[in-house]
Structure 1
Amino acid sequence: MYLKSLEIHGFKSFADKTLFEFHTGVTGIVGPNGCGKSNVVDAIRWVLGETSAKALRGAEMADVIFNGTDKRKPVGMAEVILTLADCEQGLGVDYNEVAMCRRVFRDGRSEYRINGTICRLKDFQELLAGTGIGRSAYSVMEQGKIDMLISAKPEDRRSVFEEAAGITKFKGQKKEALRKLEYTEANLLRVADIIAEVKRQMGTLHRQAQKAKRYQVVHKDLRILDLHLGHKHFTEYTAEKTESENQIISLMTELNDLHQRVHAKEQEVTETREIYHQVESTINGLRQQSQEFRSKIQGAESKIEFNRERVEELEGRIRRNEEDATNNRDMVDRQQRELAAADEQFSSIRNAIESRQYALEEHQITHNAIIPSAETGDGAPHPARNLPPAGRRGRHGRCQSAEPDQPDGHRPSAARSPGA
């Protein structure tokens, strides 16, 4: 059995998938300090089942995942696949090659696979037990490991020798067998306690068994009696069923009659409902007309009230006009009486004036006849020729007044002269 290949992806400094193939002979990995040579050994130890982050030079298991650089993003998973060849005799399996795969994610989940099948870390340890391959076996000797073995205690060196001799696997199997024997002995003790408890309960169980047998006999008799009683009840129920069926038939007949009556009543109700709807429509129409008439009545009442107020106002005006007419009629009568008196006075005054004018004319004529020559010689105007127009008698023998005529009813009263 030999190491065939190692595939690393996302583990520490191996961001890209890297494949190491180991051919026959000795294979050496050389390089400057810090190029990742120790990371290859850490990857082998990690895939073989190393669970200590401190042994892998880290604080926690997630530190083995590539954290990225200034130019590359970090990855979310670290994966290492170790392939062993010629494994039929060394591992005792039916396969020539065995690929052991281990993965870890940033959320802490881990995954183990053998030839693509998911398994446990314990399966890795059982597969590699006794082969000298493992996280603490002598197949991986890092720097300082030989000095540690030389200076170690005899008990620590003994584990290395036992691993080299191939008895570690059997010692593990022995330890597992002893653990199972202890577990079996504990189970036997619990079984002995259960047997003792059951023995103590056997007397009680025997009495309960006798009671159970008597119960079975009584239960059998009770079942027979129940059957007879059931048959009797069945006969009675059958008779009641027949009677009930007859009643049901009569009730169905009555029900059909009732259905027919209900159908007729429903038709009557439908017709009544239609009539009710018609009456309701008529009532609504009448209500609407009543509302319209009520509105018209209110308008007419408003007009009547307005006309009543107008009539009262006009009647007041008529009464005032009648009072004014009565007053004016009295005034007209009084003024007519005054006018008649004034006319009479005017006639008397006019007659007096005419008589005075006539006397004045005669006096002028007499005067002119007495001294005509004296006035003519002196160049003075003739008195008769220089009379004013008012002093001349008219064509009809009445004196014409110099004042303009006034309208009827508004003639001024003639002033009475002192000598009239």
Structure 2
Amino acid sequence: MHIKSITIDGFKSYGQRVDIKGFDPLFNAITGLNGSGKSNILDSICFVLGISNLQQVRAVNLQDLVYKNGQAGITKATVSITFDNRDSRQKPVGYEHYDEFTITRQVVVGGRNKYLINGVTATSNRVQDLFGSVQLNVNNPHFLIMQGRITKVLNMKPPEILAMIEEAAGTRMYESKKQVAQRTIEKKEAKLAELDSVLNEEITPTLNKLKEERQAYLDYTKVSRELDHLTKLYVAWQYVQTEELSRNSKEKLEKTQATVQQSKASVEELQAKAKEMGEVIAAMERKKDLVRIVEKSVKKMGHLNALRGTEDDALREGGDSGRYDDYQLDLSAMIPIRPSVTGSD
């Protein structure tokens, strides 16, 4: 991008419209007599580029840039610069599809000014962004080398000239930014080292401890769940065992009760048999007594028979028969007993 033409109207010494053309893409020189307006052409370029230090264009305020301060009937100053934009390496951002574009700046008496891009009103910031995108900064202190500084520049040492060129080209700004960025990086690295130290000495051990505690808690909760599960299983097993034991005990109780009933029945049966046996024994005792009586009676009968025999002998011999009669009476008394004994059998 380079200047293709300049149109000046009412700016400083140019009271009438002037078109300046034929600029070279690489090098241009303005020549002429003293007072012919050579410096004002450079001032007009700086005016459009947005110079902020008006002392460099020999003015106190913007109104000083109007032809004769507006006292000659001209109330505004207008400068338009048309840029050749065919070089694809230097196209401003947003204007890559334009082969040329025109920037216009206008100031009126009173100090009000405005910018136009291709005839459309634009803000100062937008214009500065456009020039900034191609590293064009008129406010750089080394962008312009005025007449009084030429000798000083010629006497500069190579490093100083390089620094001036870098600053004029805009690369010095990036170098400064680079240094600032490097210092920022160093601070960040120091901060990162500090953070690493804190991380390794404090946070990591704490984190490891928390991990261990977390694992211990997980193990505890796992064991607690297993214990709870086993407890429930044990309670359920106890319940089943109790139910089974109760059922078995109930069955045993029922069997025992049945056995008791059977035993009771057996006891009653035995008691009945014992009673019956008692009665039999009593009957046998009675029979035994009867037998003894009978035996006694038999003995008496034998004795009686013996007496009878003796009596017979006595009778035959003429003796007393009274004792025989007494024994006969006793035998008659025992005769009724025999039928009752026979009946008891």
Bigger relative contact order, structure 1 or 2, given CA contacts below 8 A and separation 6+? 2
Query: Does TM, scored on the shorter chain, surpass 0.5?
Result: no
TM-score, with structure 2 as normaliser: 0.43
TM-score, with structure 1 as normaliser: 0.36
